[in-house]
Homo-oligomer: A and B are copies of this chain.
Amino acid sequence: MKFEVTILGSSSATPVFNRNPTAQLLNCNEKIYLIDCGEGTQHQLIRFGLKASKIDAAFISHLHGDHYFGLIGLLSTMHLNGRIKPFRIFGPAPLKEILEMQFKYSDTVLRYEIEFTATTADVPEVIFENGDMTVETIVLNHRIPTTGFKFTEKKRQRKLLSEKLEADQIPVEYYPLLKRGLNLELPGGKLIVNADYTRDSEEPKSYCYCSDTLADGSYLDSLRDCTMLYHEATFLDELLDRANMTHHTTALQAAQIAKTVGAGKLLIGHFSSRYKTLIPLLEEALTVFENTELAIEGNTYAI
């Protein structure tokens, strides 16, 4: 199953010359989900040759503008481009009010339905589930109610060992049962032992998205053993006081969190506009957690 994330924006509060505010596109088995949507996200989609029409849902972490000011424009453009497929939005309850007010005053009646699910930042909750994946909120600690999101693949069926099945001439009609893990006793009494003809499928992968938050450890349980952790790393650790004051995280802290929770890989982003080059942020994280990468706009990272 395809499971990858494309970075559309990696800047924090204000855009800078070559960095846009936060937005990511997650591809889970060809279902496309937008995570946060800073101003100019629709421009970034155009820039990277990605189609807004393919997006199925948006997950908005909180109502600071650098995480959602681009949503209303994207929704408007999809309307103007003829979208009729419903669009799901997960985010703080007032987001619905903000969007509806803007549609009201522009006298816009969308051609497609918005299915809005309000998130709360009280306890982690499963907010979405389909055949491939479950999405659960991560309760972050920011200046206003903020959630991250944990996207977890569902456990796949067992994999068939084709050569063995063919060698023993096991009838094809039993394959679906074997995939589901059953042992079979045939009418003549012959036993088909599942373990002889199947192997376990890969462990489900997970992607945790954490932006923005104070690195206070309160949400680490949500991140345990995730395959890839995206964590904001707004500042270098020399600005730890500023990070604490603004409820943000330093690159060093992000790496410590990745290490503590046993993440497979760390992706850092949400960089302060003061950093012209991002290498020092990467180097700082690498001192603690080796498998770290910078979230670079336009890049796609396999989870």
Q: CB < 8 Å: which of B15, B76, B102, B143 contacts A107? A: B143
Instruction: With a 10 A CB-CB cut-off, give which of A47, A97, A101 has the most chain B CB atoms.
Output: A101
Residues of A60-77 at the interface with B, using a CB-CB cut-off of 8 Å, are 63-66, 69-70, 72-73, 76-77
Residue of B nearest to A39 (CB): B73
Q: What distance in Å separates the Cβ of A169 from its nearest Cβ neighbour in chain B?
A: 58
The minimal Cβ–Cβ distance linking A53 to chain B, given in whole angstroms, is: 12
B42 contacts A144, C-beta separation under 8 Å: no
In whole angstroms, what is the CA distance A13 to B16 when docked?
25
Q: Is A40 an interface residue (CB 8 A)?
A: yes
In the complex, whether A106 has a CB less than 8 A from a CB of chain B is yes
A94-B105, A101-B97, A105-B94 given as contacts; is B15 within 8 A of A42 (CB)?
yes
Contact with B along A233-274 (1 / 0, CB 8 A): 000000000000000000000000000000000000000000
Kindly state whether residue A179 has any CB partner on chain B within 8 Å: no
Say yes or no: is A81 at the interface (Cβ < 8 Å to chain B).
yes
Cβ–Cβ contact B92 & A105, under 8 A: yes
- Which residues of the other chain, B, contact A95 by a CB distance below 8 angstroms? 105
B65, B81, B143: the one within 8 Å of A102 (CB): B65
Residues of B within 8 A of A69 (CB): 39, 69, 72-73, 76
CA of A43 to CA of B20, assembled, Å: 8
| CA–CA, A106 and B65, complex, Å | 7
- CA–CA, A10 and B250, complex, Å: 40
A43 to B46, CA, bound (A): 15
Residues of B within 8 A of A94 (CB): 101, 105
Distance from A241 Cβ to chain B, minimum over Cβ atoms (Å): 18
A105 touches B144 (CB 8 A): yes
List the B residue with the shortest CB-CB distance to A63: B105
Asked if A80 and B14 sit within 8 Å, CB to CB, the answer is yes
Task: Indicate whether A172 reaches chain B with its CB closer than 8 angstroms.
Answer: no
Distance between Cα atoms of A77 and B97 in the complex (Å)? 23
A72 touches B80 (CB 8 A): no
Distance in angstroms from A225 CB to nearest chain B CB is 33
Cross-chain pairs A/B with CB under 8 angstroms, 12 sampled: A13-B76, A14-B80, A17-B46, A17-B47, A39-B39, A43-B43, A63-B102, A65-B72, A65-B102, A92-B105, A94-B105, A98-B102
Residues of A within 8 A of B (CB): 13-17, 20, 39-40, 42-43, 46-47, 63-66, 69-70, 72-73, 76-77, 80-81, 92, 94-95, 97-98, 101-102, 105-107, 143-144
Q: A14-B77, A39-B42 are known contacts; what are 10 more A-B pairs with Cβ within 8 Å?
A: A14-B76, A15-B43, A15-B46, A20-B43, A39-B69, A40-B43, A69-B76, A95-B105, A98-B102, A98-B105
